[in-house]
Amino acid sequence: MSNKALNIGDQFPNFEAQTNVGRIDFYDWMADSWAILFSHPADFTPVCTTELARVAQLMPEFLKRGVKPIALSCDTAESHNAWIEDIKSYAKLSSFNYPIIADNKRELAVKLNMLDKDELSAEGIPLTCRAVFVIDNKKKLRLSILYPATTGRNFDEILRVVDSLQLTQTKSVATPADWKQGGQCMVLPSVQAVDVPKLFPKGIETIEVPSGKSYLRITAQPQI
């Protein structure tokens, strides 16, 4: 596995790792699902606790979309299992049902470029940032976002992006700013006017702009 930055569209590298529920081969664990891999600086830290709790609460939403979450934190599997009891207590969860990778040697953090040079551990070592990788069922990287250790993620936004990725991979649309499931979409710039009736039988609306160019083409969200 190389540690060059991964780009959207790259094959996401396979890896083996220890987790709180045993050793996994990442590809085998994914099977035919999509995955979201999200990393954390350390166990028993406040923002991370809120994030892992939020993902546990959102599990039905991830599973509805065929996405399996997996977290990573730079501590041991034993530490993760102890921390999970705190997360369950904090969020009043009866169970916690996704794995946490034990990257206590920071091997994956280095290989996947997930270090935050501005946040150092007590020993002066860079902490793992809050990376988000969305990987599709072909093991291709579809989204990557890096947040600093001091900013917790908005997982409703991650679900919104998954909805957009899953819609736009089969339909000739892109989703505009602040789009949500069911909202109006933009016709892809690559769609020729001649193909519009076939692709969008319900029609489209073209917004007039001073340039006179017909690129702002709106349509109802196509059914997947």
Q: Are 129 and 114 in contact (CB under 8 A)?
A: yes
Q: What does the DSSP assignment read for 149-199? A: TTS---HHHHHHHHHHHHHHTTSSEE--TT--TTS-EEEPTT--GGGHHHH
Closer CB to ligand BEZ, 43 or 163, in the complex:
43
Q: Which residue is catalytic, options 48, 74, 129, 185?
A: 48
**Burial of 135 from C-beta contacts in 10 A (0-12 / 13-18 / 19+):** buried
Q: Is 48 in the site for ligand BEZ (CB under 6 A)?
A: yes
Q: Is 150 in the site for ligand BEZ (CB under 6 A)?
A: yes
Counting other chains too, the contacts that 28-31 makes at CB distance below 8 Å and 24 or more residues apart are: 29/68, 29/70, 29/99, 30/68, 30/135, 30/137, 30/139
Smallest distance from ligand BEZ to CB 150, Å: 5
Interface with ligand BEZ in residues 92-131 (CB under 6 A)? 119, 127
Q: Is 46 in the site for ligand BEZ (CB under 6 A)?
A: yes
Q: State the number of binding residues for ligand BEZ (CB under 6 A).
A: 10
Sign for the CA dihedral angle at 44, 47, 50, 56 comes to negative
Q: Which of 46-54, 59-67, 80-88, 188-196 is the region at the interface with ligand BEZ (rule: CB under 6 A)?
A: 46-54
Q: Is 74 designated active site?
A: no
Q: Is 86 in the site for ligand BEZ (CB under 6 A)?
A: no
Closer CB to ligand BEZ, 90 or 215, in the complex:
90
Binding site for ligand BEZ (CB under 6 A): 41-42, 45-48, 119, 127, 149-150
Q: Which residues are catalytic?
A: 48
